[in-house]
């Protein structure tokens, strides 16, 4: 029986700080390569993270979490992102900042939703479907006593596979989905016969009536087999997705038909979700996909949030919690107790702690080269040397932030390549943290307190 993987449509996005990361960059023995999968340096930390990923895959991390400790700009977030990439494409990765939690109106609810978003449910269901590439599509119009204009009455669609073809008449609800999805000739679609749900799987260029040099839909092959068949559908949702779906069904029966999300998702709703997922798992129709909840600046959390996380970590459906901090000995927020990293010691006892260190000059150079390539910035050897020096003496983040301004300055003088003079110019226009502190100290009597 063939299997159909349903994955979310990936929207185009700008290059982000960690968009170049594809994994932890480890060999088959779990040893970190100097530069691989977008990761550079931090070999000990990456190898430790690889061990954590291995434990997650084998279900051996129950009741524990991970704490990544190190100075600012040493790749703590990058390691967390790489762990999620290693766990698989459909592994949920939810990133929040400690300040976001602290500022939330209801910290417990904020954290609960973040936790539920970080746990996936890979669901398998055998359905009767029709699938194939659209070779013909005609909409059916009909008259309505409530409208002077013709209304959508259905559609007739012809689908083909490598081995079969068929023409189907569909109702107005399915036809409306065709219009909303923009279905046209050359699209590969799948229709659930029982529910009428339509999904577009991609586009076959050679079957399209009109050829496009640039198209949003991904290119796929013509399916094989029968057009109408029973197939196993695989899709990954999060616990929060299921919570919201159940809550929305309940909201439909309220007087006004809608509720705020925070109010709608109650403990009772979440209990129903858990029961549903357990039943599907016991029946072999679903499996849990533990994702990663990454909390940066975890020292910003208070004692209430830490207590919540300590309890949640032991839950049956808990994700892998990865905390990160750059603090040493500091006060636990909400108390007068001083503790390592500003966290309760009973929570620290439950965490596997990974440490990072400052990058070497060679590592800084390689990171700048990777980011320049990701951001499409061409650097001369002198410009790379200048940025490396800035990264070592001032900060790596500051050096990387100068890439795009330097590119713009180079383009203004008619060059596509950034030179050392461009780097020097933008470093004078935009100051680093150390220079900013000196500025504040110099003009402290003139600045407002």
Q: Indicate whether 343 and 422 sit together in one domain.
A: no
pLDDT score of 278: 92
The pLDDT of residue 251: 63
Would 138 be classed as within a structural domain? yes
Residue 320 domain-assigned (yes or no): yes
Answer yes or no: do 94 and 48 share one domain: yes
Residues 88, 146, single domain; the answer is no
Residue where one domain finishes, among candidates 217, 235, 253: 235
- Given 304, 326, 355, which residue is the final one in a domain? 355
| Backbone φ, ψ for residue 119 (5° rounding) | -120, 120
pTM (whole model) above 0.75: no
Do 308 and 336 belong together in one domain? yes
In a domain, 241, yes or no: no
Cβ 297 vs Cβ 68: under 8 Å: no
277 part of a folded domain: no
Enclosing domain of residue 66 = 20-118+291-355
Query: Which pLDDT does position 272 carry in this prediction?
Result: 93
- Select from 315, 333, 313, 338 the least CA-distant residue to 323: 313
Indicate the number of domains in the chain.
3
Residues 129 and 81 in one domain: no
User: Are 30 and 98 part of one and the same domain?
Assistant: yes
How do the pLDDT tens digits run along the chain, 449 residues long? 455 444 443 333 344 567 678 889 999 999 998 888 889 889 999 999 999 998 888 777 766 799 999 998 888 989 988 998 888 877 888 999 999 999 998 999 999 999 999 998 988 878 899 999 999 999 999 887 777 788 888 999 999 999 999 999 999 999 999 999 999 999 999 999 988 889 898 888 665 445 555 555 567 889 989 999 988 777 888 999 999 888 887 665 554 444 444 446 888 999 999 999 999 889 888 888 888 899 999 999 999 999 999 998 888 888 889 999 999 999 999 999 999 999 999 999 989 999 999 999 999 999 999 899 888 999 999 999 999 999 999 999 999 999 999 999 999 999 999 999 999 999 999 999 889 988 899 998 888 87
pLDDT of residue 9: 36
Cα–Cα dist 406/400, whole Å: 10
CB 343 within 8 A of CB 310: no
Residues 134 and 225 placed together within one structural domain of the fold: yes
Q: Does residue 318 lie in a domain region?
A: yes
Rg for the chain, CA atoms, rounded = 27
Contacts of 197 (CB under 8 A, 6+ apart): 177, 191
Q: Which of 312, 332, 355 is the last residue of a domain?
A: 355
Q: Answer yes or no: do 133 and 230 share one domain.
A: yes
Please give the pLDDT value at position 8. 42
Q: What is the CATH number of the domain that holds 346?
A: 3.40.50.300
Residues 377 and 295 in one domain: no
- One domain, residues 130 and 227: yes
Please indicate, yes or no, if residue 12 is contained in any of the structural domains. no
Q: Is residue 7 part of a domain?
A: no
Note the pLDDT of residue 117: 93
Judge if 129 and 213 occupy the same domain: yes
CA dihedral 200→201→205→208, nearest 10 degrees, is -30
- We report the CATH number of the domain holding residue 383 as 1.10.8.60
282 domain residue, yes or no: no
Alpha helix ranges (H) inside 236-352: 239-251, 261-264, 267-282, 303-312, 345-348
Nearby residues of 105 by Cβ (< 8 Å), 6 or more positions away:
none
What pLDDT score was predicted for residue 124? 80
What CATH number is associated with residue 153?
2.40.50.360
């Amino acid at each position: 029986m063939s299997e159909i993987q349903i994955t979310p449509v990936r929207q185009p996005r700008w290059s982000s700080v960690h968009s170049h990361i594809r994994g932890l960059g480890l060999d088959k023995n779990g040893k970190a390569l100097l530069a691989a999968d977008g990761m550079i340096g931090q070999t000990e930390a990456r190898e430790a993270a690889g061990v954590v990923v291995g434990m997650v895959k084998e279900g051996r991390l129950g009741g524990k979490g991970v704490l990544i400790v190190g100075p600012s700009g040493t790749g703590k977030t990058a390691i967390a992102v790489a762990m999620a990439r290693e766990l698989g494409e459909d592994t949920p990765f939810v990133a929040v900042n400690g300040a976001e939690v602290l500022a939330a109106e209801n910290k417990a609810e904020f954290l609960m939703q973040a936790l539920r978003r970080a746990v996936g449910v890979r669901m398998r269901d055998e359905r009767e479907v029709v699938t194939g590439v659209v070779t013909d599509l005609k909409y059916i119009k009909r008259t309505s006593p409530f409208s002077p204009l013709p209304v959508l009455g259905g559609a007739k669609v012809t689908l083909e596979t490598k081995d079969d073809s068929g023409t189907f008449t569909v109702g107005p609800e399915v036809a409306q989905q065709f219009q909303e999805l923009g279905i046209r000739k050359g699209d590969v679609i799948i229709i659930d016969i029982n529910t009428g749900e339509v999904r577009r799987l991609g586009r076959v260029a050679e079957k399209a009536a009109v050829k496009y040099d640039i198209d949003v839909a991904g290119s796929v092959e013509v399916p094989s087999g029968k057009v109408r068949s029973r197939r196993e559908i695989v899709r990954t949702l999060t616990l929060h997705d299921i919570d919201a779906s159940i809550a929305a069904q309940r909201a439909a029966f309220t007087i006004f038909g809608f509720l705020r999300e925070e109010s709608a998702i109650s403990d009772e709703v979440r209990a129903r979700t858990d029961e549903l997922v357990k039943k599907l798992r016991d029946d072999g129709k679903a499996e849990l996909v533990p994702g990663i909840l990454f909390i940066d600046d975890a020292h910003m959390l208070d004692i209430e949030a830490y207590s919540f996380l300590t309890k949640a970590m032991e839950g049956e459906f808990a994700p892998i919690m990865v905390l990160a901090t750059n603090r040493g000995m500091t006060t636990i927020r909400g108390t007068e107790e001083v503790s390592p990293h500003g966290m309760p010691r009973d929570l620290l006892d439950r965490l596997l702690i990974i440490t990072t260190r400052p990058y070497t000059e060679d590592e800084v150079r390689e990171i700048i080269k990777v980011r320049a390539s990701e951001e499409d910035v061409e650097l001369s050897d002198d410009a790379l040397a200048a940025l490396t020096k800035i990264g070592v003496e001032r900060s790596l983040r500051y050096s990387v932030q100068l890439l795009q301004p330097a590119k713009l300055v180079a383009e203004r003088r008619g060059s596509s390549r950034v030179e050392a003079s461009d780097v020097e110019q933008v470093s004078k226009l935009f100051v680093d943290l150390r220079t900013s502190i000196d500025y504040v100290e110099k003009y402290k009597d003139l600045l407002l307190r």
